[in-house]
């Protein structure tokens, strides 16, 4: 059975082969990356891309915000820890200049594994607490 894939045109053979090697046997991942690249080409100026950790494989960005890095969310309790750790590493290494690891509750165990001299904590707290609500039928 033969399949035809509609791949976007990449700037040159060198770039095509460079990224093809990054994805190895993951043809579906490579095709998804090509489509994302095609969809974002030609959009000028500053922009924000909201992507999953799975979708950023092979990409690089000046600034990366990784959000939801709370215990129970990342890593997910239902996923194998090693796979989640690899995904965390892939997402983290997409940052060229700045990486922000964002959590609102108990931080992910992966944050603890980062050497202290590489971390700079900044609290964004200070917001008002939501008022207590009345409970009926307690």
Domain-embedded: residue 138: no
Domain-embedded: residue 135: no
Check whether residue 108 and residue 62 sit in a common domain.
yes
Global pTM value: 0.57
Strands (E), 3-136: 61-66, 95-101
- pLDDT average, residue stretch 29-38: 75
Check whether residue 35 and residue 58 sit in a common domain.
no
Q: Reduce the DSSP state of residue 11 to 3 states and report it.
A: coil
Domain membership of residue 22 as a residue range: 8-44
- Residues forming beta bridges with residue 63, ordered by sequence position: 98
Tell whether the model's pLDDT for residue 57 goes beyond 60. Answer: yes
- pLDDT value at residue 136: 64
Domain-embedded: residue 105: yes
Check whether residue 56 and residue 103 sit in a common domain.
yes
Measured from the Cβ of residue 22, the count of other Cβ atoms closer than 10 Å reads: 14
Structure-model confidence comparison of residues 10 and 60, the more confident one: 60
In sequence order, the 6+-apart residues with CB closer than 8 A to the CB of 98 are: 62, 63, 64
- pLDDT value at residue 65: 92
Q: 6-10, 29-33, 78-82, 86-90: lowest mean pLDDT where?
A: 6-10
Tell whether the model's pLDDT for residue 88 goes beyond 70. Answer: yes
Check whether residue 40 and residue 57 sit in a common domain.
no
In whole angstroms, what is the distance from residue 93 CA to residue 110 CA? 14
Residue with tokens 């409970």: 135
Domain-embedded: residue 124: no
């Amino acid at each position: 059975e033969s399949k035809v894939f509609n791949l976007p045109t990449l700037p040159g053979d060198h770039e095509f082969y460079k990224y093809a090697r990054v994805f190895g046997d993951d043809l579906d991942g490579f095709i998804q990356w090509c489509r994302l690249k095609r969809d974002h080409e030609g959009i000028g100026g500053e922009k924000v891309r909201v992507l999953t950790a799975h979708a950023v494989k092979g990409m690089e960005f000046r600034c990366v915000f990784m959000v939801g890095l709370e215990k129970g969310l990342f890593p997910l309790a239902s996923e194998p820890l090693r796979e989640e750790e690899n995904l965390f590493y892939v997402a983290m290494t997409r940052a060229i200049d700045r990486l922000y690891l964002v959590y609102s509750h108990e931080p992910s165990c992966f944050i603890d594994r980062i050497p202290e001299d590489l971390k700079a904590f900044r609290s964004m707290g200070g917001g008002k607490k939501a008022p207590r609500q009345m409970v009926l039928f307690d």
